[in-house]
C-alpha cells in the first residue's frame, strides 16, 4: 500500500482576497444572526464536477444507497466521501474568513434526498459547531431549507447549485418539510469546530485524519 501526502491545498492569494471582500457581509450576518447564505460558495465549474462525480460515486459504491437507517432523513447518504473531504479541507480558509474564527475541519457528509423525504427540525452534534450545507443539484421543484436561530423567527432559503448556508450547527435549528414536488435534491454538509472552542477535541471527528471512515 502506498502512503502519499499531497501538499498543495492553499488557494492562490488573489482568489482569497476576492472571496474575503465578497463575504464581509456574510461574516457580520453569521456572527449576529447565527447563520448566513453564501452565494457561490463553490464556483459553477467545480459544482458541476462535484455533481457528476457524486452521480458516478453512487453507481460505483451502491452500498451508499442502502435505504438509510431508521430515523434517517434520506435513504441515500454517506460519510466522508474522499472528494467532499477534500472540499472540507480546501474550504477551510474561506470558512475562517466567513466565521471570523480559526477552525479545525471535523467531517463531511453527503445526502441525496428523494421524493417524500423530510428533515425534521433539529440541531447538530458537537462536531458540527460550524456547519455548511451546500446545494449541488435538484430534479423537480426547488426545495427550501428552513433556519431558526434561538429567539428568532424561522426563515426559508432557496439555494442554487454552489450556494451554501453557513450556520452554528449546535444552536440554529434547521429542517426541510416533506419533499412532495422535488424528485431529487443533492447536497453535501461540511462541519468544523472552533480551534479555541469547547468542541476542539472533535477535530477530524476524532478520526486519525480526514478521508477515513468513522
Ligand atoms: Fe443537521
Q: How far, in Å, is the centroid of ligand 1 from the Cα of 124?
A: 5
Across the chain, what does the average pLDDT equal? 89
Band of residue 104 on the pLDDT scale cut at 50, 70, 90: very high
Q: In 3-state terms, what secondary structure has residue 31?
A: helix
Q: How far, in Å, is the centroid of ligand 1 from the Cα of 173?
A: 8
DSSP string, 70-109: TT-S-SEEEE--HHHHHHHHHTHHHHHHHHSS-EEEEEEE
Please state, for a pLDDT cut of 70, what percent of the chain lies above it. 85
Q: What is the average per-residue pLDDT within 172-196?
A: 96
Number of Cβ within 10 Å of residue 6's Cβ equals: 6
Quick one: fold of 14-62+72-194?
Jelly Rolls (2.60.120)
Q: How far, in Å, is the centroid of ligand 1 from the Cα of 101?
A: 21
Query: Where exactly are the structural domains of the chain?
Result: 14-62+72-194
Higher pLDDT, 98 or 6: 98
Q: How far, in Å, is the centroid of ligand 1 from the Cα of 66?
A: 20
Band of residue 65 on the pLDDT scale cut at 50, 70, 90: low
Q: How far, in Å, is the centroid of ligand 1 from the Cα of 83?
A: 20
Higher pLDDT, 196 or 21: 196
Q: How far, in Å, is the centroid of ligand 1 from the Cα of 194?
A: 18
- Cα 101 to Cα 175: distance, rounded to the nearest angstrom: 25
Does 7 have pLDDT greater than 60? no
Evaluate whether 32 touches 153 at the Cβ level (below 8 Å).
no
Band of residue 67 on the pLDDT scale cut at 50, 70, 90: low
What pLDDT is attached to residue 6?
A: 55
Q: How far, in Å, is the centroid of ligand 1 from the Cα of 123?
A: 6
| Beta strand spans in the chain (E) | 35-38, 76-79, 103-114, 119-122, 130-140, 145-148, 155-157, 164-168, 173-176, 182-194
Q: Is 116 exposed, middle or buried (0-12, 13-18, 19+ CB in 10 A)?
A: exposed
Evaluate whether 105 touches 98 at the Cβ level (below 8 Å).
no
Q: What is the average per-residue pLDDT within 83-111?
A: 96
pTM: 0.89
Q: Look at the block and give the residue holding cell 431549507.
A: 145
- Cα 39 to Cα 25: distance, rounded to the nearest angstrom: 12
What pLDDT is attached to residue 1?
A: 55
Evaluate whether 126 touches 201 at the Cβ level (below 8 Å).
no
Beta strands at 119-122 and 173-176: parallel, antiparallel or unpaired: antiparallel
* Element (DSSP H or E) covering residue 30: helix 24-33
Nearest to 207 by CA among 124, 84, 106: 106
Amino acid at each position: 500500500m502506498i502512503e502519499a501526502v499531497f501538499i498543495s491545498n492553499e488557494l492562490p492569494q488573489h482568489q482569497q482576497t476576492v472571496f474575503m471582500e465578497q463575504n464581509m457581509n456574510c461574516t457580520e450576518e453569521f456572527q449576529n444572526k447565527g447563520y448566513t447564505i453564501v452565494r457561490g460558495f463553490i464556483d459553477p465549474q467545480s459544482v458541476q464536477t462535484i455533481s457528476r462525480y457524486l452521480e458516478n460515486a453512487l453507481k460505483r459504491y451502491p452500498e451508499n444507497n442502502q435505504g438509510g437507517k431508521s430515523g434517517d432523513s434520506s435513504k441515500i447518504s454517506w460519510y466522508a466521501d474522499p472528494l467532499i473531504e477534500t472540499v472540507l479541507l480546501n474550504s477551510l480558509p474561506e470558512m475562517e474568513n466567513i466565521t471570523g474564527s480559526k477552525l479545525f475541519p471535523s467531517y463531511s457528509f453527503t445526502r441525496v434526498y428523494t421524493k417524500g423525504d423530510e428533515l425534521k427540525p433539529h440541531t447538530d452534534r458537537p462536531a458540527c459547531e460550524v456547519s455548511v450545507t451546500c446545494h449541488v443539484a435538484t430534479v423537480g421543484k426547488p426545495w427550501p431549507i428552513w433556519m431558526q436561530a434561538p429567539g428568532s423567527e424561522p426563515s426559508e432559503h432557496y439555494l442554487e447549485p454552489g450556494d451554501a448556508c453557513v450556520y452554528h450547527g449546535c444552536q440554529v435549528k434547521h429542517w426541510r418539510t416533506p419533499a412532495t414536488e422535488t424528485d431529487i435534491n443533492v447536497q453535501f454538509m461540511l462541519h468544523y469546530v472552533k480551534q479555541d472552542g469547547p468542541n476542539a477535541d472533535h477535530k477530524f471527528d476524532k478520526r486519525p485524519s480526514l478521508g477515513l471512515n468513522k
